[in-house]
Structure 1
């Protein structure tokens, strides 16, 4: 197994290199920072172990750049709940807090190794999913859905609020599918996932020759969603200087492609979402108050999974069924102890974390029953 260690602290880096070098099946390479690692990582690597606090590019930004190409274990001496949740959102395999025993890290590596070995032996199938379905129900969910259904019938702008991983895009699609625009496009854009210098062109499009690499004209998300719904995810992360242009487009229902002075009329319904404290951002002049009132005609708060406990087992069981089908496993089921553990756990990463835990448990479990220990919830935050 070829492992990349990305750690700016030379003592920590060397210690890990020496400790893991004692294992014959580990080939260890070290890098001083994320930018150095990005230049040299190739398909031969199986796992990346990365610190969070590093100069130039931190570990969270590094994982975003890796974009799921490698299993990642995060190690940090500055653990916070926010960073752990962000790591979960990005799909890291494990999150270890310094100081830790080398054996703890090796156990995490072995888990990753086992997952990779089992997945490689199976043929991945495309499992059809229905994004308009909620697999469980709870009183909190029903209240929120009832509000969403009522809002869907209008053309008012909706702002979805809630923690990362609660299912904001699923709610946005549900609103679209229950609206008069359901037969028109649903187009999503994540403001946090696009480099700042590309957001404007992604939203509004560009004409041929508008900038160096603009070899042909391209339609933006507004035009692509014309007649339908435009979902602006992580809206609070939109650069402040572009917010005025977005506000103008929403008010005038006209957009201008980069490199063009000709306006294009657009008719879109806006559903936006954020997990940030957007009112604090307004107070800090990081988000325009006039834009907030334009996109938040109907604000809808989506409760976290810990307040929707009745949904945990139904969601977990549906995910398990999909994973069993995807990897052609024998049928699997959760033990009663595993179910109790899932219900008791606080799920800081919400539904996204639950899905990741179930998938890993399904792959790592040896028998047809997934036990409490297969979930590895005690190792999480």
Structure 2
């Protein structure tokens, strides 16, 4: 017996009795009513299938009454399957009922086997609708989780407000945006702000750190793959482009791509379609593309390390995020925000920073920008004693910008100086610096991350 609730509505009591007898052996709950006005007292969302007569008044066979009650049912329970019943086999009436939302119709007198088959199909349709509704709710919840950003754009400086004003103007369009700026300035936060204020805000935001993906896996990560396309491809997998369909795709550290990967990315952007690794089928994608880098892409184009046509594609609008040292009193505003956050996290809610410590924070150049300030505040909260944080509680990583002429005391300092010297010699060009040092771009990128995170 199927665990389902069926409601039969017909003014002919013999019809109601016959259907109750027929259906009670197949379905757990069968209820019959002779007056459609009783519908208003029923919780129709709990009903799986309704068998509804098309005519209730004597001598009337237009079907208008049934169509009226069909509309009323659909207003209250759009996913409930409704089967129309009529003694008149007019095709145009049946078609009209289907257009109004009926799942099917049966003619009186009916064939029992055919009626049971029709009801079974209607129940399967009802289950499918419920599953689709549940999937949509899960998808909506998942998008909220993915789009959740626990960091905020904090500050009120002129430099920051200029960027935010530009961001809000650009967000209304679908143009590709290139965000530039030093490490730790908050380029991803600007990308998320673009997404949150765009017409795609209710869709997903997918962020990809291009520098952390190895070259041989990059195509699969971006475009997906089919089962068996390479050794570890044990199942079909969608890539980041497909995952971001209808939403925003953020490609961070775009300057780390090889020329071969750049060509494939350019093709996907131009064609607005991708092909999974190992497949031939073209899959259209609709995304808002935002890229970010701390590299000088124009210089990389001159050096033959970045495709000029790709730069034009990703750089319709350019947004330069200012360094923290260019944002005036934002330093203290940000420090106070994270002081409260970490104070609550580590059960020290009454902390404050004294004047000498504030002056120390303001004078520092913050080579690691907001990210470095965040880590500095957290360390001070953890290690500080009492409710007032003093200048000595803030350990500023002056080693992060060492004098290039200073003698290194450890292998770690020597490696750091070599990396900084190489980057300075090549004006921040990661690829050229990596070639000089004899390492891959990814290795250089990972080492820099370790340096900046202190």
Q: Please indicate the TM-score interval, normalised by the length of the shorter structure.
A: 0.5 to 0.7
- Superposition misfits of 4+ residues, deviation over 3 angstroms: 129-133, 378-381
CA displacement at 1:331 relative to structure 2: 2.3
Contact 2:340 2:349 in 1 (8 A): no
Which of 141, 144, 163 is equivalent to 2:163?
Answer: 144
* Alpha-carbon separation, structure 1, partners of 2:151 and 2:391: 30
CA displacement at 1:363 relative to structure 2: 0.7
Contact 1:166 1:304 in 2 (8 A): yes
CA displacement at 1:376 relative to structure 2: 1.8
* 1:213 aligns to 2:221 (yes or no): no
Contact 1:131 1:173 in 2 (8 A): no
Closer/same/farther in 2, CA of residues 130 and 137 from structure 1, 3 Å limit: farther
Residue 212 of structure 1: SS of its match in structure 2?
A: coil
Structure number with higher helix proportion: 2
* Alpha-carbon separation, structure 1, partners of 2:374 and 2:171: 27
CA displacement at 1:158 relative to structure 2: 0.3
- Specify the alignment match of 2:217 in structure 1: 198
Closer/same/farther in 2, CA of residues 131 and 153 from structure 1, 3 Å limit: farther
Residue 231 of structure 1: SS of its match in structure 2?
A: strand
CA displacement at 1:318 relative to structure 2: 1.0
Residue 332 of structure 2: SS of its match in structure 1?
A: helix
Give ranges in structure 2 of 5+ residues lacking alignment.
1-147, 402-454
- Specify the alignment match of 1:304 in structure 2: 323
* Alpha-carbon separation, structure 2, partners of 1:308 and 1:357: 18
CA displacement at 1:379 relative to structure 2: 4.5
Rg comparison, structure with higher value:
2
* Alpha-carbon separation, structure 1, partners of 2:265 and 2:272: 10
Residue 322 of structure 2: SS of its match in structure 1?
A: coil
* 1:229 aligns to 2:248 (yes or no): yes
Closer/same/farther in 2, CA of residues 135 and 200 from structure 1, 3 Å limit: same
* Alpha-carbon separation, structure 2, partners of 1:335 and 1:150: 39
1:328-378 deviation line (CA, Å, top 9, x unaligned)? 235211111111111111101100000011011111111111111111227
CA displacement at 1:140 relative to structure 2: 0.4
Residue 318 of structure 1: SS of its match in structure 2?
A: helix
- Specify the alignment match of 2:272 in structure 1: 253
Higher relative contact order (CA 8 A, sep 6+): 1
List aligned pairs for 1:328-367, cutoff 5 A.
328-367=347-386
* 1:323 aligns to 2:324 (yes or no): no
* Alpha-carbon separation, structure 1, partners of 2:340 and 2:298: 40
Give ranges in structure 1 of 5+ residues lacking alignment.
1-128
Closer/same/farther in 2, CA of residues 328 and 265 from structure 1, 3 Å limit: same
* Alpha-carbon separation, structure 2, partners of 1:130 and 1:242: 29
List aligned pairs for 1:47-66, cutoff 5 A.
none
- Specify the alignment match of 1:133 in structure 2: 152
* Alpha-carbon separation, structure 1, partners of 2:362 and 2:389: 15
List aligned pairs for 1:40-119, cutoff 5 A.
none
Kindly tell me the number of residue pairs found equivalent between the two proteins: 253
- Specify the alignment match of 2:62 in structure 1: none
1:128-184 deviation line (CA, Å, top 9, x unaligned)? x85473222100001111111101111100000110110000000000001111111
* Alpha-carbon separation, structure 2, partners of 1:375 and 1:270: 39
Contact 1:131 1:170 in 2 (8 A): no
* Alpha-carbon separation, structure 2, partners of 1:144 and 1:220: 31
* 1:372 aligns to 2:383 (yes or no): no
Alignment TM-score, normalising by the size of structure 2: 0.54
